[in-house]
Structure 1
């Protein structure tokens, strides 16, 4: 009898040892990576930046992680996504002008090795959910041909959130892998994408890490949302756009909470890194706001590019949890950070990356590897003339829309976007108009001391201005020509090309 008790005790101890060993292997394995991208989400428009609408999930995740308060994306949709997927500046592959038009034969060049391809090589399953906006005119451009195992989302840059169509209900755009997902017609896009993320998590093989790119379509216009999300804010916002926008953000916040809960229920939250980012500044024309930063979506001022961002994970050092990082980071950094830093893979076979592996910096609170950031140079976006301030013998054509950050300094040239400070209507503060581009087309700021870009120092520091103009010219000379082909609506529009009124690959002529 005693020997049986001893045997049972030994088996119990052995079983506990196996459980602990399995737990140790799980916690020491490659972490899952969940990258969440919101669409046209303004810098102001989260609770922890002072918005009047609630984002409790985002606020909590950010508060328990590392808030990235010197983190940049591109000033408009598809450029941010192309830089994320390639780890390279737009000037390297010709997409430095505007967004990809669905009726033009263009996409992220297929010879660019993608983040999804490299992290898949490192042993990850790869899933893309939501807005693609990196071109689809040929099948080689589609997400499942760029490294993703699965895709559920829209190919265009926007569309109606219930009918999943654009520009009219006639043209449908929601796909699962390469086929139209017609069964989601009438279901709100944020619900569709949240439920897909949860479903993938629930079915995930626990012995295989995953990379999930969850690119919500909200709060991008058109401003649509289920009515009950508006109820808490009807007495707060008189402006209908702001009301709809607040409700859309609240729905996204709820969705992120549901996805996080799924990670915990699956038992994989402790070995997952969650990254949240906006794709550009909020559009002040469509309910968004970036106060107190200057500018809006499209602009090279901070309101167009300084992004909402945080990293949340139990894998972060205890020293950085609950902190704010002022280190300089850029959306291009996620490529090597995910592949090399988190997945333990390599970036062999890629073209030279502009991003840096920032995992140690974020995880442990060490210095960023980045001291310089080219925001963009767009030679197709120019302004004429200007006052007689122009530096004589300037090495760079300052009529070109461009911006560069070096250390504390930032230069902007040729910006014709939104250049004012746009206070949200709930503050009671009047909009402050900046200097119009008819009077000025170059600006120099100490962005560390003056993040609101209120004090142009181009006259006071001509030496710094000249140095940065020279650097812009160096980047320009090493850029490739812009590739922005004409549209071909008769071949691309889905009701005219044999695609049964469903957006998809088409044959250019």
Structure 2
């Protein structure tokens, strides 16, 4: 397995002048469009999303294997979302975030958009970015999109974002921003853009740093040029997702050196990749504080799904003590380690146990900004802002995690209140076990002074300054509350074999999904009601949008760039370019 550091890819993450100028130009355009009045009560909304981060890979969950002090400081200062559910894979999860709808209602439920597949988030679906922009926000996406690129109108700046710096597909190399399609004989293609324009300025720079620096630049430019307009920023990191299969684990040498005590090389790289992500959170909070925007901001950190411990794109991510991993119906694939902060919260420094779905974030954050989404959008997400603001936890939430009727491997995962139904699974049940663990013999040296470490972060200090009388926090108590406790198995424990029969769990009592209650409840009104509700959702589900691969995507047709190939083919530009090259070659030979 190849591993990369910045010694292999020379360069640094200094600010790029062209990016600064274009950011400034973009903000100037927003001003000239008349979006320059930030109404009272419209906060800046900052969402920092990790990619494939394991549930237990933030140290506020209790692990001392490697620490995430900035993320932890944000969590302890704000509200830890102990039961935030996402979809189990990138594309469905991101579609739910941006539309406020279950993937089954937008056709995004079956697997992810592979780079060579010509489909995307349906044009009829209105995104969170569009809603916020219509209500006076400057909207920016930094990083991953993964909601379609075969046509230009699938891409971020056509779906509500005023500005985008990042990549359109599934993932890229951390240093050269290229993507190699597995199992296909396509040319390895570059995938990084500034708005609609290809940019190679970032080649040689570590992409986590590129995106972090861009976020800092955006905040600085926004504050200096347009302090009256609210900012909506989705910082959608690559980290800690694996890169291409020939070199999946990549981190700067100085970050890697902090984790020499970790013997497993892959895991050492993973710790460094997460650590660089943690550094990014600190940089964003610092920038908001410097520009005096922090007190008027909502800052949310989350992962798009659980981590892949083993199998495809595995990184040693841990979802301990939960069952399963990414791309599975189990809690380990569906629960995100998340935290949110705002001066509006009356109970800061708490662990919120209310069940929450990623699709709730659109109506919830919109409500925080005084925005009421159009009822005709028929959102599945619920406005939980009042409950979050005042710390209520009494709402029974229904969540359709997945209903996938793919004949090859149909499965479903559904929760209502404490009850969860699983029927069928993914990957022939290969990854249905309890895959994560805590390596208690390999401990981050900083853990000996954990509380001091947290209190010395700039994140903690910035946030505490704004808290006043709420500033006292019992970090050890909060850390203990954020951990998931699972009962031990006993002789009475009944296993779940979802390929043979449905399974029923009491998630409140059994969050690790060890004890299958299906036989006990199979004739009860509880289970019958759940199954009827699932059947209702299944009947109304949107057919999957997935389409087979299109070889015309091959980057070799488009100067080795991943691009909106259907538009290029329609215009003849891509094919004409190839024909001209062939013609010139023949002319030179003869």
**TM-score (structure 2 length as normaliser):** 0.75
Match of 1:19 in 2: none
Deviation at 1:360, TM superposition (A): 1.3
- Distance in 2 (alpha carbons) for counterparts of 1:379 and 1:467: 20
Deviation at 1:346, TM superposition (A): 2.1
Residue 334 (str. 1) matches residue 361 (str. 2):
yes
Contact 2:423/2:498 (<8 A) preserved? no
More helix by share: 2
Match of 1:419 in 2: 432
| Secondary structure in structure 2 of the residue aligned to 1:459 | helix
Q: Identify if the C-alpha distance between structure 1 residues 370 and 158 changes in structure 2 by more than 3 Å, giving closer, same or farther.
A: farther
Residue 281 (str. 1) matches residue 306 (str. 2):
yes
Match of 1:58 in 2: 71
Q: Identify if the C-alpha distance between structure 1 residues 338 and 438 changes in structure 2 by more than 3 Å, giving closer, same or farther.
A: closer
Residues 250-261 of structure 1 correspond to what in structure 2 (within 5 A)? 250-261=275-286
**What's the RMSD between the two structures over aligned residues?**
2.1
Match of 1:396 in 2: none
Structure 1 consecutive aligned stretches of length 4 or more whose deviation exceeds 4 Å: 25-28, 434-439
Match of 2:47 in 1: 35
| Secondary structure in structure 2 of the residue aligned to 1:232 | helix
- Distance in 1 (alpha carbons) for counterparts of 2:381 and 2:496: 33
Match of 2:380 in 1: 354
2:176 pairs with 154, 160, 163, which one? 163
Deviation at 1:350, TM superposition (A): 5.0
Q: Identify if the C-alpha distance between structure 1 residues 374 and 438 changes in structure 2 by more than 3 Å, giving closer, same or farther.
A: closer
Residue 202 (str. 1) matches residue 189 (str. 2):
no
| Secondary structure in structure 2 of the residue aligned to 1:207 | coil
| Secondary structure in structure 1 of the residue aligned to 2:147 | coil
Match of 2:122 in 1: 109
Q: Tell me, which stretches of 5 or more residues in structure 1 are unaligned? A: 1-24, 384-399
Match of 2:232 in 1: 211
| Secondary structure in structure 2 of the residue aligned to 1:316 | coil
Q: Identify if the C-alpha distance between structure 1 residues 439 and 486 changes in structure 2 by more than 3 Å, giving closer, same or farther.
A: closer
Q: Deviations over 1:356-399 (max 9, x none)?
A: 1111111111246552111010111654xxxxxxxxxxxxxxxx
Deviation at 1:467, TM superposition (A): 2.4
- Distance in 1 (alpha carbons) for counterparts of 2:189 and 2:499: 43
- Distance in 1 (alpha carbons) for counterparts of 2:339 and 2:271: 20
| Secondary structure in structure 2 of the residue aligned to 1:70 | strand
1:408 pairs with 411, 418, 424, which one? 418
- Distance in 2 (alpha carbons) for counterparts of 1:202 and 1:118: 24
Deviation at 1:305, TM superposition (A): 0.3
Q: Tell me, which stretches of 5 or more residues in structure 2 are unaligned? A: 1-36, 182-186, 243-247, 443-488, 571-590
Q: Identify if the C-alpha distance between structure 1 residues 41 and 438 changes in structure 2 by more than 3 Å, giving closer, same or farther.
A: closer
Name the stretch that deviates more: 344-353 or 257-266: 344-353
Q: Identify if the C-alpha distance between structure 1 residues 282 and 75 changes in structure 2 by more than 3 Å, giving closer, same or farther.
A: same
Residue 325 (str. 1) matches residue 385 (str. 2):
no
- Distance in 2 (alpha carbons) for counterparts of 1:227 and 1:501: 29
1:307 pairs with 332, 336, 345, which one? 336
Q: Identify if the C-alpha distance between structure 1 residues 323 and 505 changes in structure 2 by more than 3 Å, giving closer, same or farther.
A: same
Match of 1:7 in 2: none
Match of 1:15 in 2: none
Q: Identify if the C-alpha distance between structure 1 residues 443 and 307 changes in structure 2 by more than 3 Å, giving closer, same or farther.
A: same
Deviation at 1:143, TM superposition (A): 0.3
Deviation at 1:48, TM superposition (A): 0.9
Residue 476 (str. 1) matches residue 535 (str. 2):
no
Match of 1:184 in 2: 202
Name the stretch that deviates more: 48-57 or 269-278: 48-57
**TM-score (structure 1 length as normaliser):** 0.86
| Secondary structure in structure 2 of the residue aligned to 1:182 | coil
Q: Deviations over 1:203-244 (max 9, x none)?
A: 111100010000010000022110111222111x22112111
Contact 2:45/2:232 (<8 A) preserved? yes
1:229 pairs with 255, 262, 265, which one? 255
Q: Deviations over 1:131-181 (max 9, x none)?
A: 000001111111000000000011111121111001178410111001111
- Distance in 2 (alpha carbons) for counterparts of 1:295 and 1:465: 23
Q: Identify if the C-alpha distance between structure 1 residues 438 and 378 changes in structure 2 by more than 3 Å, giving closer, same or farther.
A: closer
Name the stretch that deviates more: 191-200 or 226-235: 226-235
Deviation at 1:314, TM superposition (A): 2.2
Contact 1:225/1:247 (<8 A) preserved? yes
Q: Deviations over 1:312-340 (max 9, x none)?
A: 122322xx11100110100000111122x
